Amino acid sequence: MFNRPQKIRSASICAYFGLCFAILNLFAGSSYFCARGPLRFTFRLALACTIWDLFACVVGLWVGQKMLNSRSAVPMLAAAITAAGIASIPFWIYRGYGHFQFEGTLADISCYFAEGYGMAFPFVVAPILGLLTLLHGILWLRASKVLSAAVAGSSAIRQ
Protein backbone atom coordinates (compact mmCIF):
# COMPACT_ATOMS: atom_id res chain seq x y z
CA MET A 1 0.00 0.00 0.00
CA PHE A 2 2.72 2.49 0.97
CA ASN A 3 6.06 2.56 -0.77
CA ARG A 4 9.33 2.84 1.14
CA PRO A 5 9.77 6.66 0.99
CA GLN A 6 6.22 7.18 2.25
CA LYS A 7 6.91 4.83 5.16
CA ILE A 8 10.13 6.69 5.94
CA ARG A 9 8.32 10.04 5.84
CA SER A 10 5.50 8.76 8.07
CA ALA A 11 7.96 7.29 10.54
CA SER A 12 9.96 10.53 10.59
CA ILE A 13 6.81 12.53 11.35
CA CYS A 14 6.00 10.22 14.27
CA ALA A 15 9.61 10.41 15.47
CA TYR A 16 9.52 14.21 15.25
CA PHE A 17 6.35 14.29 17.34
CA GLY A 18 7.86 11.94 19.93
CA LEU A 19 11.10 13.90 20.21
CA CYS A 20 9.21 17.20 20.28
CA PHE A 21 7.00 15.86 23.08
CA ALA A 22 10.07 14.74 25.06
CA ILE A 23 11.87 18.08 24.58
CA LEU A 24 8.81 20.10 25.59
CA ASN A 25 8.22 17.87 28.59
CA LEU A 26 11.83 18.35 29.71
CA PHE A 27 11.58 22.10 29.14
CA ALA A 28 8.47 22.85 31.20
CA GLY A 29 7.07 19.55 32.40
CA SER A 30 8.00 20.30 35.99
CA SER A 31 6.66 23.86 35.81
CA TYR A 32 4.34 24.88 38.60
CA PHE A 33 2.09 26.53 36.01
CA CYS A 34 1.66 23.29 34.03
CA ALA A 35 0.82 21.25 37.14
CA ARG A 36 -2.89 20.89 36.22
CA GLY A 37 -2.20 18.58 33.29
CA PRO A 38 1.38 18.65 32.06
CA LEU A 39 1.00 15.83 29.56
CA ARG A 40 -2.14 17.36 28.08
CA PHE A 41 -0.45 20.73 27.54
CA THR A 42 2.69 19.06 26.22
CA PHE A 43 0.66 16.96 23.77
CA ARG A 44 -1.13 20.03 22.40
CA LEU A 45 2.03 22.04 21.93
CA ALA A 46 3.93 19.07 20.44
CA LEU A 47 1.06 18.49 18.00
CA ALA A 48 1.07 22.16 16.98
CA CYS A 49 4.87 22.11 16.50
CA THR A 50 4.63 18.91 14.43
CA ILE A 51 1.97 20.44 12.20
CA TRP A 52 4.16 23.53 11.81
CA ASP A 53 7.11 21.26 10.95
CA LEU A 54 5.06 19.60 8.19
CA PHE A 55 4.05 23.01 6.87
CA ALA A 56 7.68 24.14 6.92
CA CYS A 57 8.81 21.00 5.06
CA VAL A 58 6.18 21.48 2.35
CA VAL A 59 6.97 25.20 1.94
CA GLY A 60 10.71 24.50 2.01
CA LEU A 61 10.27 21.82 -0.67
CA TRP A 62 8.20 24.12 -2.85
CA VAL A 63 10.53 27.13 -2.51
CA GLY A 64 13.66 24.99 -2.89
CA GLN A 65 12.49 23.26 -6.04
CA LYS A 66 10.45 25.95 -7.77
CA MET A 67 12.27 29.16 -6.91
CA LEU A 68 15.83 28.13 -6.11
CA ASN A 69 16.11 24.99 -8.26
CA SER A 70 18.03 23.38 -5.44
CA ARG A 71 16.91 20.27 -3.60
CA SER A 72 19.78 20.56 -1.13
CA ALA A 73 18.42 23.88 0.19
CA VAL A 74 15.11 22.28 1.18
CA PRO A 75 16.13 21.00 4.67
CA MET A 76 17.77 24.31 5.58
CA LEU A 77 14.76 26.31 4.42
CA ALA A 78 12.41 24.04 6.36
CA ALA A 79 14.59 24.31 9.49
CA ALA A 80 14.65 28.11 9.25
CA ILE A 81 10.87 28.29 8.80
CA THR A 82 10.30 25.94 11.73
CA ALA A 83 12.70 27.73 14.07
CA ALA A 84 11.26 31.16 13.20
CA GLY A 85 7.67 30.00 13.60
CA ILE A 86 8.24 28.20 16.88
CA ALA A 87 10.35 31.05 18.28
CA SER A 88 7.50 33.47 17.57
CA ILE A 89 4.89 31.51 19.57
CA PRO A 90 5.43 33.45 22.82
CA PHE A 91 5.02 36.75 21.00
CA TRP A 92 1.73 36.04 19.22
CA ILE A 93 0.12 34.12 22.06
CA TYR A 94 -0.14 37.17 24.37
CA ARG A 95 -3.31 39.25 24.19
CA GLY A 96 -2.16 41.82 26.69
CA TYR A 97 -0.31 42.18 29.95
CA GLY A 98 -0.78 38.89 31.80
CA HIS A 99 -3.48 37.55 29.45
CA PHE A 100 -3.13 34.87 26.81
CA GLN A 101 -4.91 34.72 23.47
CA PHE A 102 -6.34 31.22 23.92
CA GLU A 103 -6.73 31.18 27.70
CA GLY A 104 -9.51 28.85 28.81
CA THR A 105 -9.92 27.23 25.37
CA LEU A 106 -8.84 23.86 24.01
CA ALA A 107 -5.73 25.53 22.54
CA ASP A 108 -4.60 26.88 25.93
CA ILE A 109 -0.87 26.20 26.26
CA SER A 110 -0.15 29.31 28.31
CA CYS A 111 1.63 27.43 31.10
CA TYR A 112 4.65 27.06 28.80
CA PHE A 113 5.03 30.80 28.59
CA ALA A 114 4.39 31.85 32.19
CA GLU A 115 7.15 33.53 34.18
CA GLY A 116 10.63 32.99 32.67
CA TYR A 117 9.64 30.06 30.47
CA GLY A 118 8.28 32.37 27.77
CA MET A 119 11.56 34.24 27.45
CA ALA A 120 13.66 31.08 27.30
CA PHE A 121 11.40 29.31 24.80
CA PRO A 122 12.71 31.07 21.63
CA PHE A 123 16.32 30.60 22.71
CA VAL A 124 16.15 27.01 23.97
CA VAL A 125 13.28 25.10 22.37
CA ALA A 126 13.05 26.77 18.94
CA PRO A 127 16.68 26.05 17.89
CA ILE A 128 16.42 22.44 19.06
CA LEU A 129 13.20 21.88 17.12
CA GLY A 130 14.71 23.68 14.11
CA LEU A 131 17.61 21.23 14.23
CA LEU A 132 15.13 18.35 14.40
CA THR A 133 13.42 19.74 11.29
CA LEU A 134 16.79 19.92 9.54
CA LEU A 135 17.38 16.25 10.29
CA HIS A 136 13.79 15.47 9.31
CA GLY A 137 14.27 17.32 5.99
CA ILE A 138 17.52 15.50 5.25
CA LEU A 139 15.78 12.19 5.85
CA TRP A 140 12.95 13.19 3.50
CA LEU A 141 15.47 14.25 0.86
CA ARG A 142 17.32 10.95 1.11
CA ALA A 143 14.03 9.03 0.91
CA SER A 144 13.10 10.81 -2.30
CA LYS A 145 16.59 10.16 -3.73
CA VAL A 146 16.12 6.46 -3.02
CA LEU A 147 12.79 6.60 -4.85
CA SER A 148 14.22 8.46 -7.86
CA ALA A 149 17.18 6.06 -8.07
CA ALA A 150 14.82 3.09 -7.91
CA VAL A 151 12.61 4.55 -10.65
CA ALA A 152 15.63 5.32 -12.84
CA GLY A 153 17.00 1.80 -12.28
CA SER A 154 13.71 0.13 -13.13
CA SER A 155 13.29 2.17 -16.32
CA ALA A 156 16.86 1.29 -17.38
CA ILE A 157 16.14 -2.41 -16.83
CA ARG A 158 12.98 -2.22 -18.99
CA GLN A 159 14.89 -0.73 -21.90
Q: For the chain, how many structural domains are there in total?
A: 1
Residue 156 lies in a domain: no
Residue 75 lies in a domain: yes
Residues 49 and 62: their CA atoms lie apart, in Å, by 20
**pLDDT reported for residue 158:** 47
- Predicted TM-score (pTM) of the model is 0.77
Residue 155 lies in a domain: no
Q: Which residue range is the domain that position 23 belongs to?
A: 4-150
Residues 157 and 148: their CA atoms lie apart, in Å, by 14
Evaluate whether 97 touches 111 at the Cβ level (below 8 Å): no
**pLDDT reported for residue 143:** 74
Residue 158 lies in a domain: no
Q: What confidence category does residue 17 fall into, taking pLDDT thresholds of 50, 70 and 90?
A: very high
Q: Which three-class secondary structure state does DSSP give residue 37?
A: coil
> Could you report the per-residue pLDDT of 74-133, keeping only the tens digit for each?
888 889 999 998 888 877 766 666 556 666 666 666 666 766 666 778 888 889 999 998
Q: What confidence category does residue 30 fall into, taking pLDDT thresholds of 50, 70 and 90?
A: low
**pLDDT reported for residue 152:** 43
